[in-house]
Amino acid sequence: MNVLEQSTIGEYVAKDFRTAAVFSKYGIDFCCKGNRTIEEACEKKGMDFAQIENEITQLLETKSDGAIDFKSWPSDLLIDYIEKTHHRYVEEKSTVLVAFLDKLCKVHGHNHPELFAIKELFDGCSEELAQHMQKEEYILFPFIKKMENALRTGQAIEEPHFGTVENPIAMMKHEHENEGDRFVKIAALTNNYTPPTDACNTYKVTFAMLQEFEQDLHKHIHLENNILFPKAIEMQNRFTE
């Protein structure tokens, strides 16, 4: 068994984010379902593992284009980046997309009833992500930062009310998967974000924004599931050694 068969998809993307483009091309989820091996994902989708293995190997053998090595960042810096880049993005774009989808339903809903389903899915996404990010920013992230600081200064740390850090992490990962599933449905309903022939400019812009939102969400979830959360679990384990 070679290295590609042993490593998970999430581990590969954490090591070199360029691999995310290969996985996305083949419709392989590298964020919410990044804990599978490439071979397992290929078996589930009935795809040729050897072909994807070859593409990944060739990519890893080429010199990196200077992409940010998030894996080398301390957890507190990574948290600040996630909040200021991805959480802020969700907050800003959600408001705009909710308004645009509402307008599309009123103007084009008669001819395109799928817009109502898309709006319902995104409204749910917007509400759930807002609550999800609050739990991260007020409960999980501060504790991870506290652990990082305690290890840096050699101080002890009190056990949090939620017990092991794996408890809130499991909840966050479950909620990530819910949003990933929701966007699979949105992508299907929008024909992979392809506007219909009678689409107005608002229609086209809304679909482009939905696609961008999904791409940002994939990066957002990847940074948490595949890099930040494993770091947090490793840190807490060091306190129990």
Cα 180 versus chain centre, distance: 8
Q: State mean pLDDT over 165-193.
A: 96
The reported pLDDT for the residue numbered 63 is 66
Give the confidence band of 109 by pLDDT, cuts at 50, 70, 90.
Answer: very high
pLDDT at 54: 87
| Mean of the per-residue pLDDT values of the chain | 90
Tokens found for residue 19: 């691999």
**Residue keyed to tokens 């200064």:** 153
Q: CA-CA distances (angstroms) from residue 108 to 19, 124, 173, 190, 202?
A: 38, 21, 36, 14, 11
* Cα–Cα distance list, 112 to 10, 89, 105, 116 (Å): 37, 28, 8, 8
Q: Please determine, for residue 66, whether its predicted confidence score (pLDDT) is greater than 70.
A: no
- DSSP string computed for 90-134: HHHHHHHHHHHHHHHHHHHTTT-THHHHHHHHHHHHHHHHHHHHH
Please state whether 99 falls in left (phi above 0), alpha (psi between -120 and 50) or beta. alpha
Which range (37-51, 117-131, 169-183) has the least confidence? 37-51
pLDDT (0 to 100) of residue 1: 40
